[in-house]
Structure 1
Amino acid sequence: MDLGEILLGNMVDVSPKSDKARLSSLFALLFGQKFKKGVIVLIIGLTKHLKDDFGIDFKNQNLLDEAFTHASYVNEHPKENLKFYERIEFLGDAVMQLCVSEYLFKRYDTMPEGKLSRLRAAMVCEDSFSKFAKECHFDEYIRLGKGEEKADARKRPSLLCDIFEAFIGALYLDQGKSVVVDFISQVVFPKLDMGWFDHFFDHKTELQEYLQKDGECSIEYKLVNQEGPDNERLYRMAVYANGEQLGEGTGYSKKAGEQAAAAQALKKFGKTATK
């Protein structure tokens, strides 16, 4: 039986009635250190979340534990000989820079270096990473000290950014670059087509210039549908030129959806927003 089966199967009962000593012994055997019952539940929950939602099954659980442990928790538990995420975050930052750079270089093969750098900066900044972490529910699995917990630190963008980078570093060490690319292909790269970085691109203006280069052209954007809760609502928009639909796109606002629709229309004409 492998580690995933031990953690996720029915062998481990984490209900209030489960035997605390038995759980601690099992985790000490698996990871070489003892954990409190609440932490065990947290680790099992994170492991299951990663496997169910992203198909990721960590081989070295200690790396994952380190990536989600804040210095305040380590300081409050000096006898547990724990590590916190700072060093592994340093590595994750570099890995994200490389993976995003490589993706942009291949996707926008005629974009000048200056524009590539600015787009990468928008994708790997604190604001973006903190949103990615929140979307992945990483905030729910951070180990914090009592003081930081009371201060609502797990909602702090800078901390969420650090945790996202630390997770990337842990994943890289555990399974290599290809698995990291698979993960960010699910979480990060699709945002380019969903309007997250529209402050960098202006697909609508480029489409208008292209369509009207030989004369007047009536361009119209229409809402196709919307779905999801109010705080995460997705809008699907369609763009029409002289009544003919040219493309559809989705975003977290109507404007973002319009930009995504314009981007799809540009692709239809073999164009990209690279000017």
Structure 2
Amino acid sequence: MLDQLQKHIGYQFKNKDLLKQALTHRSYAHEKKVKDNERLEFLGDAVLELVVRDYLFHKYPDLNEGCLSQFKEFLVGEGTLAEIARFLELGKYLYLGKGEIQAHGEEKTSILADAVEAIIGAIYLDSNFLTASQVVKQFFLPWLDKIKFNANSDYKTLLQNWLQQDYHILPRYHILKTSGPDHDKEFEVGVYIQGKLWAIGKGKSRKAAEQMAAKMVLKKLRSVKKEKKTCASLKMSKSSTRIGKEKPQGN
């Protein structure tokens, strides 16, 4: 059965056990006492990030860091990874525990995205960085055509899309402090997620401060997501568990 998947991927594994491990969700691993795909996912995430950053850096020499970051966030985000997984029909190859099978885990965005990263990590171990890079580009370059970002795109939009897609919630922004004379004011804006202050941004306008705060939160979310894989530290869930009381105003 895995032969067909390898054809879809465009890579034949020398060590088929690596591919099987990449497809093994922790629910199955717990039941069968085998290795899950989380370590491979950890590695694949790093390989994917470097390949995408390198490609964007050389492909778009005139884009600033902000635009490059937006492109990168789109390409390595769960939504894009899950789309690729569905294109590969990856769900039917996953090894899932009984509970996840009943919960249709093969359709879950997070499980599919994690499996794609794990496969990238497995390809890297089975071959080398250059080969893994070629496989990544094969599947990711078509997604560049879907990028709709323009000069009006911003970190607030990216953060909103991330939170809506993964957690079905929205961030809230509140001015915490203003200082300086009217002609040279500085704003401090806090961004709250489920009532919890995640970052404070500063700028010469409210909009600039909000952008800075949203950018900081995006970096934290990616960092927390990576930590979650090994430390189970992320407390936010799609069930939108409340964290404190949300501030009463803001948008």
TM-score range, shorter chain: 0.5 to 0.7
- Which residue of 1 is the match for residue 195 of structure 2? none
Distance in 2 between the 1:56 and 1:201 partners? 38
- Which residue of 1 is the match for residue 131 of structure 2? 179
Q: Please tell me whether residue 152 in structure 1 is matched to residue 104 in structure 2.
A: yes
1:61–1:126 CA distance, 2 compared to 1 (3 A): same
2:10 maps to which of 39, 55, 58: 55
- Which residue of 1 is the match for residue 85 of structure 2? 133
Residues 133 and 161 in structure 1, CA contact (< 8 A), matched pair in contact too: yes
2:147 maps to which of 172, 184, 197: 197
Distance in 2 between the 1:201 and 1:119 partners? 13
- Give runs of ≥4 in structure 1 deviating > 2 Å: 52-55, 199-202
Equivalent residues in 2 for 1:1-275, closer than 5 Å: 45-50=1-6, 52-78=7-33, 82-193=34-145, 196-199=146-149
Shift of 1:201: 7.2
> Structure 1, residues 18-73: CA drift from partner, whole Å, max 9, x if none?
xxxxxxxxxxxxxxxxxxxxxxxxxxx123331x3343110111111110001111
Structure 1: stretches of 5+ with no match in the other structure: 1-44, 203-275
> Structure 1, residues 207-264: CA drift from partner, whole Å, max 9, x if none?
xxxxxxxxxxxxxxxxxxxxxxxxxxxxxxxxxxxxxxxxxxxxxxxxxxxxxxxxxx
Distance in 1 between the 2:65 and 2:10 partners? 34
Distance in 2 between the 1:124 and 1:74 partners? 26
Greater Rg by CA: 1
- Which residue of 2 is the match for residue 223 of structure 1? none
Distance in 1 between the 2:50 and 2:90 partners? 22
* Partner-residue secondary structure (3-state), 1:188: helix
TM-score by length of 1: 0.53
* Partner-residue secondary structure (3-state), 1:88: helix
Distance in 2 between the 1:63 and 1:164 partners? 13
Distance in 1 between the 2:63 and 2:42 partners? 28
Q: Provide the aligned length of Structure 1 versus Structure 2.
A: 152
The percent of aligned pairs where both chains have the same amino acid is 38
Structure 2: stretches of 5+ with no match in the other structure: 153-251
Q: Which amino acid aligns with 1:189?
A: L
Q: Which amino acid aligns with 1:49?
A: L
